[in-house]
Amino acid sequence: MKLKTLSTAVLLATLPTAGAFAAALDRSGQSISAFLQPGNYFEAGISVLDPTVSGKANANGSGLADMADDYYFPHAALKLQLTDNVSFGLLYDQPFGAATTYATTDAPLSATGEGLFHNGKGESTTVDVKTQSISMIFGYQPTENFNFYAGPVYQTVKGNLQLRGLAYGGATTFGAYNATMKEDGAVGWLAGAAYQIPDIALKASVTYRSEIDHKVATTETFAATSALAALNPVPNSNTSITTPQSVNLDFQTGIMADTVAFANVRWVEWSKFSIQPPKFGMGSKNPLISASTGKPNGFDLVAYSDDQISATVGVGRKFNEQWAGNVSVGYDTGAGNPVSTLGPTEGYWNLGLGLQFSPAPNYFIAGGVKYFWLGDADAQAGSQFNTPATVAKFEDNNAWGYGLKMGYRF
């Protein structure tokens, strides 16, 4: 039951749908499993998520149409075993992101009839956040059993946003707001250790990724109808965004001939994450000062109250020299409730199936599908103005995730 015999089934544990719909802005799951493959190895893949997320507005009970956009994210990895004791890897993924568009009829998150932008045509709340990451990993293997690794991580982030509707104060305040955040790059790091016993196909690893601090050049605008229009424009403004630190634990072991059990646990510190563009907290320059407290009515655009913990467990089996498959179950705690209107779900359960075909021993094609039962959530627009803290409820939602990956050993 050596690792080489089980390698086909083991690879299935890393199908790229694992983090397709996780808490907060988490997407890829930031796996380093490709770096821990034996020998020289290359892989490339893509994940696609098709969510259905609808709800009801608290103010009038009206329905909110499906607002979670479909999205995809690619990944690639190269691992080189330079000597018996030294390895090197490059990993590319898109670890965090958001894609949301409310319909123009979705009160209170649209501005139909308010005459805001584009010659008076109604608009809705939308958000598009994208990140990219390249991890450069150096590994040292003092024995067959141990692997110690670390390296720098370069990450970029950018985004576009428009807020509409009464949930953000309507056409006179932040309900008439646009923001464009230019791409910014910054550097963090990762470090970890792995232990394996090839004879029983056992492999365990723990990987830490640091926070990464960004200063994102931001252009913010308000409609002429907004009381904040006098703030247009603020040149050279920056939004501070710190992507969270995380820890991944991965484990697998042979349980019978040609069969492995695997598990992954991931922790992400979302409780310290927030995004507040400059005009959301202008201090004494903000004309919307609370008469009762004397404090500005600024607020975080996005913030979370809890850390995320997610887990996936499953079994992979090699059927013959060319075919293998797996089944897995996943759970995500979410990052606190209420949640932002820009991503109104709270955790999930999922069920996944994977299949892998190996035309030759040195390369394979793998595909997988996962069904997500998304957690119910109360959505809030922030603690601004006199708007109720919770503006909508999202219940009984779901998503489908699809993954495709090709791998090559050389």
Q: Are strands 377-380 and 339-340 parallel, antiparallel or unpaired?
A: parallel
Q: 71 pLDDT exceeds 60?
A: yes
Q: What count of other Cβ atoms lies within 10 Å of the Cβ of residue 317?
A: 19
Give the Cα separation of 240 and 213 in Å (integer): 7
The CA-atom distances, in angstroms, between 238 and each of 24, 41, 183, 213, 388 are 22, 40, 12, 12, 29
**CATH class of domain segment(s) 3-409:** mainly beta
Q: 333 pLDDT exceeds 60?
A: yes
Give the Cα separation of 65 and 101 in Å (integer): 10
Question: DSSP letters of 192-237?
Answer: EEEEEEGGGTEEEEEEEE--EEEEEEEEEEE-TTSTTGGG---TT-
Give the residue among 16, 8, 18 at the shortest CA–CA distance from 404.
16
Q: Could you report the per-residue pLDDT of 291-316, keeping only the tens digit for each?
A: 454 444 556 778 888 999 999 999 99
Would you kindly state where each structural domain of the chain is located, as residue ranges? 3-409
Q: 11 pLDDT exceeds 50?
A: no
Q: Identify the sign of the CA torsion 86, 87, 88, 93.
A: negative
| Cβ atoms of 260 and 201 closer than 8 Å | yes
Q: 47 pLDDT exceeds 50?
A: yes
Q: Is 220 exposed, middle or buried (0-12, 13-18, 19+ CB in 10 A)?
A: buried
∠ at Cα 183 (180, 184), nearest 5°? 125
User: Which amino acid is residue 49, in one-letter code?
Assistant: L
| Cβ atoms of 312 and 18 closer than 8 Å | yes
Average model confidence (pLDDT) for the chain? 83
Q: Could you report the per-residue pLDDT of 25-39, keeping only the tens digit for each?
A: 898 899 999 999 999
Q: Could you report the per-residue pLDDT of 322-332, keeping only the tens digit for each?
A: 999 999 999 99
Higher pLDDT, 223 or 53: 53
Q: Which of 272-276, 325-329, 333-337 has the highest mean pLDDT?
A: 325-329
